Amino acid sequence: MAGVRLAFLNACKTAHAADGVAEVLVRREVPAALGMQVFVRDDVAIAFSANFYAALADGWPVDAAVVEGRKAIVNALNNDPDQPDWIHPVLYMRAPDGVLFG
């Protein structure tokens, strides 16, 4: 895993507590791993990914980029309180300041 700074596992249940790949990657010294804790709808995954990657490309720390992705999910679902899909992305991080690139 040498040289890997971020693993983004944009697939269902990759951050699930019992069998999550994201947590295992961070334990193996990947600085940050992002996964989804449950099944995720395609439109939710797309909204999250687009804004997450845009924030990373702008030089944001990975944890702040996750917040931007979560905001995009809320906006995509029209702030519907019955759809709390913004909680699905989970970040596991070893990087002390969240800066992975730059």
Dist. CA 26–CA 92, nearest whole Å: 6
Asked whether residue 100 is domain-assigned, the answer is no
Asked whether residue 98 is domain-assigned, the answer is no
Structural domain count of the chain: 1
For residue 53, give its domain range: 6-93
Asked whether residue 89 is domain-assigned, the answer is yes
- Rounded-to-10 torsion of CA 16, 86, 30, 3: 140
pLDDT of residue 81: 76
Helices (H) and strands (E) in the chain, counts: 3, 3
C-beta of residue 70 within 8 angstroms of C-beta of residue 47:
no
Sheet containing 6-9: which strands, arranged edge to edge?
6-9, 32-36, 89-93
Dist. CA 3–CA 72, nearest whole Å: 29
pLDDT of residue 41: 86
What are the 10-residue block averages of pLDDT along the chain, 102 residues in total?
84 65 85 88 92 96 96 90 86 88 78
Asked whether residue 99 is domain-assigned, the answer is no
Asked whether residue 1 is domain-assigned, the answer is no
Dist. CA 22–CA 38, nearest whole Å: 13
Phi and psi at 89, nearest 5°, equal: -70, 135
pTM equals 0.86
Dist. CA 88–CA 60, nearest whole Å: 21
Asked whether residue 102 is domain-assigned, the answer is no
